[in-house]
Every structure is written in structure tokens, then in C-alpha cells.
């Protein structure tokens, strides 16, 4: 290998690409050449570092200097100052949200300090399109160890003892699942990776696939050996073109090196891996629906039993796990069950990746040990609420999850505690809310999502969610009636207990949990026709404060309904009859003269 003096990591994840990292990379290559540094300094395009909000990210090693929001114009300065003269370009460093202190090194930033990166161990540090970089970090050693030193039963036992539970939502013990499939009679078995990532607000699986595809492939190969499969599928949603591209590259590179395919490393074990692109249906994340979709049919769930371990893909015993679950497997084999089980809580071991978004200062992907409190995630890693507003709660687990209010901010994050609090780990979407988020609107949003994704096979889900959505929409429009709350609760309970699959079973959760903790907001909408967070537009009233108005006419020109009148330099007026409550005037006025109540 060629010796180089420095490495420059440029993030090539989806977030940074959209903020211009490709251009940064192009200019960087040109600048290095211009200064004849191209032999000494190596550019590495990496996957997502999780801090996409600050993208495009550029990290210079060996120092580990962390530059944020780098644009193509900034590149010459980085090359001339940092690489040639050894002076850090301070204006591009990350600034801590409250103290404004500039922090040069990656490891020192609060966002990363409390994280513990296991599943994301390589994301952002290696080039995902070069298998040698994965191997250089110990990649495929675990596969080799398993094939030559362990029996399938020993592998299953190791995973069982590690306490690894499914990261796709349910939290079922992975080792146990593998054992069921291993014991199921049949000569042909399948192993499947669920990369459908349907939760509208989670993107950790995408980042793992884009940033470290080999960890998933290695995990699947180990799983295949354990259950006795020789063929596998990765079911990836088509909305993730970059993930699919990198998976394809990774699979072909692994095949070339004999790490996939016939007689792997001469061990006698063979394993073929295929990619199937999903076609946009949330319900296909459910395991029986996913298998129907791989078979080329409409992805509708079916009754279980038989479980996939007995009769799955094409009627054969099959095992299905989530992306993050598989990414954990090689490290467990390498470092041992005891090491993995030393992280986390009694019943939830290891780490979990969360997609931290919403009204929080630092958004992005964070991997933390199980059992960490919400407070640590939101206030230490996330840096608190944007603009110093009041923290209201967090929505966790996406459309199957629920809201946890501010007073429970010390709830530990593990499977059991979250369910007790009325939420769910789900896929790990974590949306922080402040006083400007309306909980009724949020519940309506999730129900609208599940309702439109319901496959329609069973009545409670198909009809029940429709009724619930109608009621919620009515409440948001200011036409709620007192019985609505009770009806919602009754419908929710019925759907939960009678729907056929997990989509229906969990669809009422966002409504039920907001009713549990934020009932007063529902009541304000229904009884006082008021939206406390000023979100539900039908319940807002716009007027102009005559004292503050300077008669500039900006609002008048912006109003699409012609509802504003007034002479120049005189206070303006809004005609409530004509106003369609679009909010344009509110945004346009620079005097804060528009009152929204």
C-alpha cells in the first residue's frame, strides 16, 4: 500500500450529497493536483457520519480536524492553509450551540461524545465501495472464524448469550429466532434482510447500507451458516438508490474474493445473495408481506402461524432480520457475547441507533447504549431545543409508537421501559417536539400515514383507521364533538386487538398515547375550538395590531384572498370573512404586527 501523509474524508452520504459534497470532492481533487499534493494526501469518500445537518462534512486525518458546512469555495483555503501550512481553518469548525465555542476535533463534540458506535462502527470512516478497507478493519474475520472454528449450534449459542434482540421493531431475541429456523426440517432454507425501512422519519438502515454494506453481508453470511441456508435476499426499498448501488458493488467484490458464492474460503459452505427492490408499500416491511413481495405478488400479510421459520419464502423455512440486527452480528462473534452483553440493561443489551430529528439543535443519527435516558439523548447529544423553546415531548417509534411527555424525560431507553410509557422502540425514529407542535395534528399525521398504507385485507384496520382519521380531521378542523375522545379510545382498543398484522395492531398507538398524556390539547380543540400550538389552520384567527402596523403593504400584496385592505402608511385591516388562514401575511410582516390566535 502506498504511504500517504494525510487522509481527507469527504462525506458522500445522501444528506451531504444534497448539500454539495460532490462539488467539494471535485474541487478538492483539482486543488490537490494543482499543489502537487495528490500523491501525499488521499481523498476518501465515506458514508454518512450521522451529523448530516452540518454537512457537507470534511475530516482531515491524522489530526481528526472536523470541518462542517464546507462548500466548494472553501476548499482552496483548506488545502492552502491546513494541508500546506498546517494551520486550521477556524471559521469552518463546528461551533457548540450554546457556548459558541469552536471545537476542532471529532471526538470532542458533544454530539459524538456520549455515543457508542457498534453497528455504525465503520460508517463514515471507510470507503464503502472498497472491500479492502472493510477487511483492513477486521472485516470478514468473524465469518472465517465461524466457518472454521465454530459449529452452527455454537454460533446460535453465542448470539443467544449476547442478548441481541431484533432492531426492526419487535425486539425478538435473534438467537432464538435462528434456532427455530435451524431446527425446522427442510433442505432448502432462506435468510432475508429487511431493508424496507418504512418508518417515515428513520434512516439508520439506509446509513448502514450506504456507509458499511459489508457488515450486513457478513452478518447475513454468518446467519446463513447458523440456520443452514445457502441463499439469501436483501429486500431494499427502491427510494434508496445509493444504498442499492453500494450493496451491488459490495456483493460483487465479496464474490470476487471468494467471500460469497460457492465453497466460501474453501470451507465447503456456499452462500448466494440477491437484492430485491421494494416498490413503495409500508406494509411490505411486515415479514409475511415482504416474502409475498419477493415472490412477485402483492405484498399482503397473512395469518401466522405458520411462522416464517416453518413456512416462509416459497414455502421454505426462512429467517428474517433487520439491517441493524445483522450489522451487530460480526462484532459479537469477534469480541464475544460477554462483551456485547456488558452494554445496556438487564433485558436490552448492546446499543441502538436512533434518528434524532425534529425541534432539536443537533439532528442526525446517534448510536447509544441501551438504557440511556431520553434526557441524555435530547439535551446532551442533541444540544437541547432549537431557539431555546420549551420542550414538550418526544415521539418515538414512528407510526407504531407513541409520545412521551416532558415530565418523563428521564425514562431509560430500552424495549420494556418504552412500552410501559406507552411508546415503542419501533425502528428508532425519535422526533423531538416543542411548544409549537400540535399533538392532535401529529396523531392525525401518523394515522393518515397508516390509513393510506393499510393493505385493506382485514376490516378493523381498513375501516377502523378510516373512522379514526375522519374524527381526528374533524377535530383539527374545529368541528369536534364531545363524544369524539371516547369514540377514538374505543375504536383504538378494538383495532389493536383484532387487526391481522402489526400495522393494524399498532396503528392506534400514536392516538392513544397522545390521548393519555395530552388530552387537554384534544379538549382545547373540541371544547374551545382552539389549537394551543397554533398549528391547525382552521382554528386560527388572524388580525392586525394597529399600534405596530406601519402600513407598509407587504401583507396586502402577499394575501392570496384579497382579505387585507388599508391605505399606504395607515394601519391595515383583515376581513375575517375573506381570510383563508394561509399564514402568508404572518410570514411577510416585519413589524410583528400580525396577530395569530
C-alpha cell belonging to residue 511: 392516538
CB of 403 to ligand FES, least distance (A): 17
Within residues 504-543, the interface with ligand SF4 by CB under 6 A covers 504, 542
> How many CB atoms sit inside 10 A of residue 121's CB?
19
Contact 172, 180 (CB under 8 A): no
Of the candidates 97, 111, 122, the one whose C-alpha atom is nearest the C-alpha of residue 66 is 111
* 166 vs 393 by CB, closer to ligand FMN: 166
* 172 vs 314 by CB, closer to another protein: 314
Determine, following the binding rule CB under 8 A, whether residue 249 of this chain makes contact with another protein.
Answer: no
Determine, following the binding rule CB under 6 A, whether residue 15 of this chain makes contact with ligand FES.
Answer: yes
> H or E stretch including 174?
helix 174-183
CB of 548 to ligand FES, least distance (A): 35
C-alpha cell belonging to residue 461: 384496520
Q: Taken in order 447, 449, 532, 364, is the CA torsion positive or negative?
A: positive
Within residues 6-45, the interface with another protein by CB under 8 A covers 14-15, 17-19
In the list ligand FMN, ligand FES, another protein, none, the entry touching 172 (Cβ below 5 to 8 angstroms by class) is ligand FMN
Of the candidates 388, 336, 395, 11, the one whose C-alpha atom is nearest the C-alpha of residue 164 is 336
- The Cα 172–Cα 164 span in angstroms is 9
Going across the sheet that includes 391-396, the strands are: 364-369, 351-358, 429-434, 391-396, 402-405
H-assigned helices in 275-353: 287-294, 323-335, 337-341
Q: Which stretch binds ligand FMN (CB under 6 A): 39-47, 285-293, 524-532, 561-569?
A: 285-293
Determine, following the binding rule CB under 6 A, whether residue 52 of this chain makes contact with ligand FES.
Answer: yes
Within residues 176-235, the interface with another protein by CB under 8 A covers 197-203, 206
Of the candidates 289, 329, 280, the one whose C-alpha atom is nearest the C-alpha of residue 312 is 289
* 371 vs 508 by CB, closer to ligand SF4: 508
Determine, following the binding rule CB under 6 A, whether residue 572 of this chain makes contact with ligand SF4.
Answer: yes
- The Cα 198–Cα 500 span in angstroms is 19
Determine, following the binding rule CB under 8 A, whether residue 332 of this chain makes contact with another protein.
Answer: no
Determine, following the binding rule CB under 6 A, whether residue 356 of this chain makes contact with ligand FES.
Answer: no
DSSP annotation of 194 reads E
CA-angle at 206, arms to 200 and 211, nearest 5°: 155
Q: Which stretch binds ligand FES (CB under 6 A): 13-21, 134-142, 315-323, 447-455?
A: 13-21
Within residues 307-326, the interface with ligand FMN by CB under 6 A covers 320-322, 325
* 230 vs 581 by CB, closer to ligand SF4: 581
Of the candidates 354, 347, 338, the one whose C-alpha atom is nearest the C-alpha of residue 432 is 354
Residue nearest ligand SF4 by beta-carbon distance = 504
* 83 vs 283 by CB, closer to ligand SF4: 283
Near ligand SF4 by CB under 6 A: residue from 397, 457, 513, 521: 457
Determine, following the binding rule CB under 6 A, whether residue 404 of this chain makes contact with ligand SF4.
Answer: no
- The Cα 2–Cα 465 span in angstroms is 61
534 CB-contact burial (10 Å; exposed 0-12 / middle 13-18 / buried 19+) = middle
Q: What b/e string do you get for 240-260 counting C-beta neighbours within 10 Å, with b at 16 or more?
A: bebbbebbeebbebbeeeebb
Determine, following the binding rule CB under 6 A, whether residue 381 of this chain makes contact with ligand FES.
Answer: no
In the list ligand FES, ligand SF4, ligand FMN, none, the entry touching 11 (Cβ below 5 to 8 angstroms by class) is ligand FES
Residue nearest ligand FES by beta-carbon distance = 13
In the list ligand FMN, ligand FES, ligand SF4, none, the entry touching 555 (Cβ below 5 to 8 angstroms by class) is ligand SF4
C-alpha cell belonging to residue 293: 413481495
Within residues 446-465, the interface with another protein by CB under 8 A covers 446, 449, 455
Determine, following the binding rule CB under 6 A, whether residue 397 of this chain makes contact with ligand FES.
Answer: no
Near ligand SF4 by CB under 6 A: residue from 294, 439, 458, 476: 458
User: Does residue 542 sit in helix, strand or coil?
Assistant: strand
Place of cell 483492513: 136
- The Cα 229–Cα 186 span in angstroms is 10
Q: Which stretch binds ligand FES (CB under 6 A): 22-30, 49-57, 83-91, 341-349?
A: 49-57
Near another protein by CB under 8 A: residue from 119, 355, 461, 539: 355
Which residues of the shown chain bind ligand FES in the complex (CB under 6 A)?
11, 13-16, 48-52, 55, 57, 200-201
Which residues of the shown chain bind ligand SF4 in the complex (CB under 6 A)?
283, 301, 454-458, 461-462, 499-501, 503-504, 542, 544, 549-555, 558-559, 561, 563-564, 572, 574, 579-585, 588-589, 591, 593-594
Which residues of the shown chain bind ligand FMN in the complex (CB under 6 A)?
166-170, 172, 194, 196-198, 282-283, 285-287, 320-322, 325, 427, 501-503
Amino acid at each position: 500500500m502506498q504511504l500517504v501523509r494525510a487522509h481527507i474524508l469527504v462525506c458522500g452520504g445522501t444528506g451531504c450529497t444534497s448539500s454539495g459534497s460532490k462539488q467539494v470532492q471535485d474541487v478538492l481533487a483539482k486543488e490537490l493536483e494543482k499543489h502537487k499534493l495528490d500523491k501525499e494526501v488521499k481523498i476518501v469518500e465515506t458514508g454518512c457520519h450521522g451529523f448530516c445537518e452540518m454537512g457537507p462534512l470534511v475530516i482531515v486525518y491524522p489530526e481528526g480536524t472536523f470541518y462542517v458546512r464546507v462548500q466548494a469555495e472553501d476548499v482552496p483555503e483548506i488545502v492552502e492553509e491546513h494541508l500546506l501550512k498546517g494551520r486550521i481553518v477556524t471559521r469552518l469548525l463546528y461551533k457548540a450551540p450554546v457556548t459558541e465555542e469552536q471545537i476542532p476535533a471529532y471526538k470532542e463534540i458533544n454530539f459524538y461524545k456520549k455515543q457508542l458506535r457498534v453497528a455504525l462502527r465503520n460508517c463514515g470512516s471507510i470507503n464503502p465501495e472498497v472491500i479492502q478497507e472493510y477487511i483492513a478493519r477486521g472485516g470478514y474475520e468473524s465469518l472465517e472464524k465461524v466457518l472454521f472454528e465454530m459449529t452452527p449450534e455454537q454460533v446460535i449459542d453465542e448470539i443467544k448469550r449476547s442478548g441481541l434482540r431484533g432492531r426492526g421493531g419487535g425486539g425478538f431475541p435473534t438467537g432464538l429466532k435462528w434456532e427455530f429456523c435451524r431446527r425446522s426440517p427442510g433442505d432448502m432454507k432462506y435468510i432475508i434482510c429487511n431493508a424496507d425501512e418504512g418508518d417515515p422519519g428513520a434512516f439508520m438502515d439506509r446509513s448502514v447500507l450506504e456507509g458499511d454494506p459489508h457488515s450486513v453481508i457478513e452478518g447475513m453470511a454468518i446467519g446463513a451458516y447458523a440456520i443452514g441456508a445457502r441463499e439469501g435476499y436483501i429486500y431494499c426499498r427502491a427510494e434508496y438508490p445509493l444504498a442499492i448501488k453500494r450493496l451491488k458493488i459490495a456483493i460483487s467484490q465479496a464474490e470476487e474474493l471468494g467471500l460469497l458464492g460457492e465453497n466460501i474460503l474453501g470451507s465447503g459452505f456456499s452462500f448466494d445473495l440477491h437484492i430485491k427492490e421494494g416498490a413503495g408499500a409500508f406494509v411490505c416491511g411486515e415479514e409475511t408481506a415482504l416474502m409475498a413481495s419477493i415472490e412477485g405478488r402483492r405484498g399482503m400479510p397473512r395469518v401466522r402461524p405458520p411462522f416464517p421459520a416453518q413456512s416462509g419464502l416459497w414455502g421454505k423455512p426462512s429467517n428474517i432480520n433487520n439491517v441493524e440486527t445483522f450489522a451487530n452480528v460480526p462484532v459479537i462473534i469477534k469480541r464475544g457475547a460477554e462483551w456485547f452483553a456488558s452494554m445496556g440493561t438487564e433485558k436490552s443489551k448492546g446499543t441502538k441507533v436512533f434518528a434524532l430529528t425534529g425541534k432539536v439543535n443537533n439532528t442526525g443519527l446517534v448510536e447509544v447504549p441501551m438504557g440511556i435516558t431520553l434526557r441524555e439523548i435530547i439535551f446532551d447529544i442533541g444540544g437541547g431545543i432549537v431557539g431555546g423553546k420549551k420542550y414538550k415531548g418526544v415521539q418515538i417509534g414512528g407510526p407504531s409508537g407513541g409520545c412521551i411527555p416532558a415530565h418523563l424525560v428521564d425514562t431509560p431507553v430500552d424495549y420494556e421501559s418504552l412500552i410501559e410509557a406507552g411508546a415503542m422502540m419501533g425502528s428508532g425514529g425519535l422526533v423531538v417536539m416543542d411548544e409549537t407542535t400540535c399533538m392532535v395534528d401529529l396523531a392525525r399525521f401518523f394515522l393518515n400515514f397508516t390509513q393510506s398504507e393499510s393493505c385493506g385485507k382485514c376490516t378493523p384496520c381498513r375501516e377502523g383507521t378510516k373512522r379514526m382519521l375522519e374524527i381526528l380531521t374533524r377535530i383539527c378542523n374545529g368541528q369536534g364533538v364531545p363524544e369524539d375522545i371516547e369514540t377514538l379510545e374505543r375504536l383504538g382498543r378494538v383495532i389493536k386487538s383484532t387487526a391481522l398484522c402489526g400495522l393494524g395492531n399498532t396503528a392506534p398507538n400514536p392516538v392513544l398515547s397522545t390521548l393519555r398524556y395530552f388530552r387537554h390539547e384534544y379538549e382545547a380543540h373540541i371544547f374551545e375550538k382552539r389549537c394551543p400550538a397554533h398549528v391547525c389552520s382552521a382554528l386560527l384567527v388572524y388580525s392586525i395590531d394597529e399600534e405596530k402596523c406601519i402600513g407598509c403593504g407587504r401583507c396586502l400584496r402577499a394575501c392570496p384572498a384579497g382579505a387585507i385592505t388599508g391605505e399606504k402608511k395607515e394601519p391595515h385591516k383583515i376581513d375575517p370573512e375573506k381570510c383563508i388562514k394561509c399564514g402568508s401575511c404572518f410570514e411577510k410582516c416585519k413589524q410583528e404586527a400580525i396577530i395569530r390566535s
